[in-house]
Copies of this chain bind each other. A is one copy, B any other.
């Protein structure tokens, strides 16, 4: 039976979890990918066998200036802004005839993209525990020059496997879980049971709270980025550790429940990334996938979510694919 943890999440509980869940050195002293090591080639083969209908779901939101970073909020994530897309050359240039001296009429473009502005993976260099990062590396390995250890480029070919959706909102019979609602280990187990699905070693776990759908319905992102949200309880770290999942992602801004009810800010993050080496995904669009899963009562699928391999990055923008 998985350990449960009562709130508030004190520093003592955080330090205890750091001791109990530490994966440092588990995959050698030079590891850069943490729990993604749980995925074996056999898992990839099995994952492919889950493709039954050929229907593909993109789990990315739009990468544009209407994104979540424009939402007003109590604690906006510092430095993030919505993607800025600008043209370097366009069809109006073409129409104007000014490109013809080049012998071809073409358009080009540019994006200014905070790596965690839209749908993304948190890299293992994103969060530090005291002076350490994943695998016990010195946190100074992530400097202004980027992440010398565990940069997002290391996961370039590792984001393929079996995906499992736990649709907690549907399981609880609501459109959207309340802000501050903590998804406990007990709820995760119950959802597995009610959905008739197991979560195991090397799986990519997607957890739906309904929050993104709520924002879509509202037509704005106010309150979303950095704000209160339903999400994973601190104790789920133990559950995820036990299950040996490869990665976990949600439809919220920050996976874990907010407010945190803790001495620390984002205590779940403190452990998940630097201590466990567990990659997490944020701002995943899960509503269409969830509807399809509910329709045929099948909650696992092939999952392929390769980020751009930006050298030394601590965030990985991604358009994740669920293939059923």
Which residues of chain A have a CB within 8 Å of any CB of chain B? 40-45, 47-49, 51-58, 60-64, 77-81, 83-98, 102-116, 125-131, 133, 138-147, 153, 156-158, 160, 264-266, 269-270, 302, 304, 306-315, 317-321, 323
A95 touches B139 (CB 8 A): yes
- A80 cross-chain contacts in B, Cβ below 8 A: 88, 108
- Closest Cβ–Cβ distance, residue A158 to chain B (whole Å): 7
Residues of B within 8 A of A85 (CB): 146, 310-313
A88, B146: Cα distance in complex, Å: 10
Q: Are A93 and B45 in contact (CB under 8 A)?
A: no
A90 & B143 in contact (Cβ 8 Å cutoff): yes
What separation, in Å, do the CA atoms of A163 and B8 have in the docked complex?
51
Q: Could you tell me the distance in whole angstroms from the C-beta of A323 to the nearest C-beta in chain B?
A: 6
Q: Which residues of B contact A146 (CB under 8 A)?
A: 85, 87, 109
Q: Kindly name the residue among A90, A91, A270 whose own CB sees the greatest number of chain B CB atoms within 10 A.
A: A91
Q: Which residue of B lies closest to A120 (CB)?
A: B308
Identify the closest chain B residue to A86 (Cβ): B86
- Decide if A84 touches B81 in the complex (CB within 8 Å): yes
> In the bound complex, how far is the Cα of B310 from the Cα of A144, in angstroms?
20
A317 to B85: give the CA distance in the assembly, Å.
13
Q: Which of B49, B58, B142, B145 sits near A78, CB closer than 8 Å?
A: B145
Q: Are B143 and A93 in contact, CB atoms less than 8 angstroms apart?
A: yes
| Further 9 A-B residue pairs, CB within 8 A, beyond A61-B309, A91-B133 | A45-B53, A86-B110, A91-B125, A92-B95, A94-B142, A95-B95, A96-B96, A107-B127, A108-B314
| CB atoms of B107 and A126 under 8 A apart | yes
Contact A265 B102 (CB under 8 A): yes
For this complex, 15 residue pairs linking A to B, each with C-beta atoms less than 8 Å apart, are A56-B158, A63-B153, A63-B310, A78-B102, A83-B310, A85-B146, A87-B87, A90-B144, A98-B143, A104-B265, A104-B266, A106-B126, A107-B147, A304-B306, A304-B323
B98 touches A92 (CB 8 A): yes
Q: Is the CB of B266 within 8 A of A103?
A: yes
Asked if B62 and A41 make an inter-chain contact with CB atoms under 8 angstroms apart, the answer reads no
**Cβ A313 vs Cβ B269 within 8 A:** no
Q: Is the CB–CB distance between A142 and B92 below 8 Å? A: yes
Q: Is the CB of B92 within 8 A of A128?
A: no
Report the minimal beta-carbon distance from A292 to chain B, rounded to whole angstroms: 12
Q: Is there contact, CB below 8 Å, between B308 and A144?
A: no
Q: A249 to chain B: closest CB distance in Å?
A: 15
Query: Is the pair B128, A315 in contact by a Cβ cutoff of 8 Å?
Result: no
Cβ of B78 and Cβ of A108 under 8 Å apart?
yes
